[in-house]
Amino acid sequence: MTIVYQKKSLIIAGLVSLFLIILGGVIFFTVYKTSRPDETVAPNVPQVKPQAAEPNCTLSFTVTATVTPPPTPVYQCDSECTSDSQCPSGLVCNNNRCRNSNCVDRNDCLCVTTTPTPTPTPTPPPTVVTVTPPPVPKSGWEIPTIVTTLGGAILLLVAKLLL
């Protein structure tokens, strides 16, 4: 069983090492390419016209005033009224005020109703579930981990020294 685990560990360490080497190469070439001074451009490349040389953009518009009629009053609960037709649907004009027809004495149009109280229901007893923890994998510093860490550090040092 341990031989299979060691082979898997070596394969994983090899893949991680290969990934780190490729990543280090990408980082190295990216830094190398971006740190080089600007290269000269061929004479047949068109020159860029500076933004300041272009004319400014102008925008013009005309404002005209339009006369709008005053808004019509919106009737709602407890609004002043003279007839039922001025009140919204469900409300009636009572004593020159729009009110709910079910409770004309209330100025907020909210009629008081009794609310039913819920009856408690018995709850079943909880069930106990036992969970067995999964086996913990072996951890620590082994040779593949040390080799990968040192390889990454060496790649970083080489990249730093060359730049």
Residue-wise pLDDT for 32-69, tens only, equals 777 666 666 667 777 766 666 666 777 787 888 888 88
Q: Look up residue 157 and give its two tokens.
A: 């040092």
Per-residue tokens: 73: 């009053």
pLDDT at res. 109: 80
Mean pLDDT within 127-143: 77
Q: Closest by alpha carbon to 90, among 110, 70, 105?
A: 110
pTM: predicted TM-score of the whole model, two decimal places: 0.28
Contact 159, 27 (CB under 8 A): yes
Which of these ranges, 7-21, 39-53, 144-158, has the smallest mean pLDDT?
Answer: 39-53
Domain ranges of the chain: 72-115
Q: Is the pLDDT of residue 142 over 80?
A: no
- Residues 50, 54, 58: CA angle, nearest 5 degrees: 145
Q: Please write down the long-range contacts of 50-58, taking CB distance under 8 Å and 24 or more positions apart.
A: none
For residues 97 and 75, give the distance between their C-alpha atoms in angstroms, rounded to a whole number: 10
